[in-house]
């Protein structure tokens, strides 16, 4: 069973990534971070021409490879007009909604490299002045960016270097509560990028070779619909989008669960893949829910629309208040990791020197990550002692039992050499 520390590691990486501004079309720094993290774990990784990141987690079966897709682009804005009063009208990048973006702090990135602060406000935002404050419909035409600089005209603003086409990034306000809740804008989908980094670290720490080859594609245009439309390595037969699980009225999923999506606005996901994901969740004891999302589209659907002949699925930690100030839970992260391990038949001790059922033969080794030498030595003593007992008793038993005792003796002698070796390796 994967240790929960990898859920904490996933959040650590996700929280760092959340504080790197990366609205769709402005993702270079976020992609650099993701590439650096996969590379530091020792996995081959490269940029796509589109600006995404493709990592190779390895695996045995190249002809039945799995592509895991997540995205690091987020919602945001672009300057559409420098207004005569020096403020900015913006157009959204992705499904940003003016209603839940009002009063949020922003950063404005100019092409010259300067960054200015401001806030998204209703036009004429003072409630003591605007008698229609409560009834005005919040649209992108009724809100504006108020720049935290001394500007009163469009000319003042342009002197700062701010022009149409500049990027507007919204403050994520990332935090984790003592109760384990994770809050931030853009958990969709940086939380899942962190989860895939946590999964990769688990593989690396434990020397695991996956039964099938696995690639990770971190896309950068998901929020506008074409993130996963390219970059499918040869041998890939299946793609699973690791995105956010929907939480809301009419759905079963909570923030503490991993969601398996059966259908969304793009149609049903592969029946076989969904079924196997459910089986894997059950086998791993992952807390999960199966839901149909009413308003949703994923990277893997873009992959299919681009012509890829693959099966597809969608999973993710439950996220509430999507495209707003979102909330999940560390348990949802952990359950997603467990589902990934189960679906890929991950075994903690996957060495060429050990049988595939090592976790069954040596449950005491699988139970924890830290095994001391003293404990290993004591267990080794009993292994050898058991072997000698088996050999010395063969003369006193029948022919059938002789064979069984001989086999058991060999088994204990093998354990004599393997137990301390694996234990010392894990210290």
Radius of gyration, alpha carbons of the chain? 27
Q: Which of 234, 233, 217 is nearest to 300 (CA)?
A: 217
User: Out of 27-41, 80-94, 376-390, which region has the weakest mean confidence (pLDDT)?
Assistant: 376-390
The alpha carbon torsion through 312, 317, 322, 327 (nearest 10 deg) reads -170
- Final residue before a domain boundary, out of 279, 308, 343: 343
Bridge-based pairing state of the strands 61-71 and 212-219: parallel
245: pLDDT strictly greater than 80: yes
pLDDT of 183: 98
pLDDT of 1: 87
* Same domain for 91 and 35: no
**Which tokens belong to 45?**
């990784």
Report pLDDT digits (tens) over 403-418: 555 555 666 566 655 5
Could you tell me where the DSSP H helices lie in 96-217? 98-101, 154-159, 187-205
Report pLDDT digits (tens) over 347-359: 754 443 344 444 4
Q: With bands split at pLDDT 50, 70 and 90, how would you rate the model's confidence at 365?
A: very low
pLDDT of 347: 72
Domain of 165, CATH number, reads 2.40.30.40
Q: With bands split at pLDDT 50, 70 and 90, how would you rate the model's confidence at 146?
A: very high
Structure-token match 């210290």, residue found? 427
Write out the residue range of the structural domain in which residue 70 sits.
5-74+186-343
Structure-token match 């990769």, residue found? 200
- Residue 396 DSSP SS3: helix
- Report the alpha-carbon distance of residue 69 to residue 344 in Å, rounded: 15
Report yes or no on 181 lying in a domain: no
Query: Mean per-residue pLDDT for 305-333?
Result: 98
* Same domain for 390 and 291: no
Query: Mean per-residue pLDDT for 281-286?
Result: 98
* Same domain for 120 and 200: no
**Which tokens belong to 418?**
């393997």
Domain of 41, CATH number, reads 3.40.630.10
Q: Mean pLDDT across the chain, nearest whole number?
A: 89
Q: How many domains is the chain built from?
A: 3
* Same domain for 294 and 218: yes
pLDDT of 101: 96
* Same domain for 382 and 332: no
Name the residues annotated as catalytic. 222
263: pLDDT strictly greater than 70: yes
* Same domain for 15 and 158: no
pLDDT of 414: 64
399: pLDDT strictly greater than 70: no
């Amino acid at each position: 069973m994967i240790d929960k520390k990898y859920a904490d590691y996933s959040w650590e990486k996700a929280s760092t990534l959340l504080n790197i501004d990366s609205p769709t079309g402005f993702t270079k720094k976020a992609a650099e971070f993701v590439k650096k993290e996969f590379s530091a774990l020792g996995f081959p990784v490269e940029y796509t021409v589109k600006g995404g990141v493709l990592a190779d987690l390895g695996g045995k079966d190249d002809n039945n490879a799995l592509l895991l897709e997540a995205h690091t682009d987020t919602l945001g804005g672009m300057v559409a007009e420098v207004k005569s009063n020096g403020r900015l009208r913006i157009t959204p990048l992705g499904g940003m909604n003016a209603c839940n973006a009002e009063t949020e702090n922003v950063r404005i990135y100019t092409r010259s490299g300067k960054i200015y602060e401001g806030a998204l406000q209703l036009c004429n935002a003072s409630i003591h002045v605007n008698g229609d404050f409560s009834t005005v419909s919040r649209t992108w035409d009724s809100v504006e960016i108020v720049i935290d600089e001394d500007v009163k005209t469009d000319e003042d603003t342009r002197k700062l270097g701010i022009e149409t086409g500049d990027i507007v990034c919204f403050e994520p306000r990332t935090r984790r509560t003592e109760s384990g809740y994770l809050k931030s804008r853009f958990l969709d989908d940086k939380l899942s990028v962190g989860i895939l980094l946590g999964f990769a670290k688990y593989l690396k720490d434990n020397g695991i070779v996956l039964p099938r080859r696995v690639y990770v594609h971190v896309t950068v245009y998901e929020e506008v619909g074409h993130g996963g439309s390219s970059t499918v390595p040869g041998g890939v037969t299946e793609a699973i989008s690791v995105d956010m699980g929907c939480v809301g009225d009419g759905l079963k999923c909570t923030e503490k669960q991993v969601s398996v999506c059966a259908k969304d606005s793009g149609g049903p996901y592969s029946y076989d893949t969904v079924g196997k994901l459910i089986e894997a969740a059950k086998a791993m004891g992952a807390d999960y829910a199966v839901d149909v999302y009413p308003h949703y589209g994923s990277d893997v659907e873009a992959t299919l629309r681009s012509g890829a002949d693959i099966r597809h699925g969608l999973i993710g930690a439950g996220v509430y208040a999507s495209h707003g100030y979102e909330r999940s839970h560390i348990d949802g992260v952990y359950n997603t990791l467990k589902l990934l391990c189960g679906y890929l038949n991950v075994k903690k001790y996957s060495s060429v020197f050990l049988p595939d059922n090592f976790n069954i033969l040596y449950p005491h080794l699988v139970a924890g990550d830290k095994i001391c030498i003293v404990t290993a030595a004591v267990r080794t003593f009993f292994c050898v002692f058991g072997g000698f007992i088996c050999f010395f008793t063969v003369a006193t038993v029948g022919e059938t039992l002789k064979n069984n005792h001989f086999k058991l003796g060999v088994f204990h002698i093998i354990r004599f050499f393997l137990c301390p070796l694996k234990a010392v390796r894990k210290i």
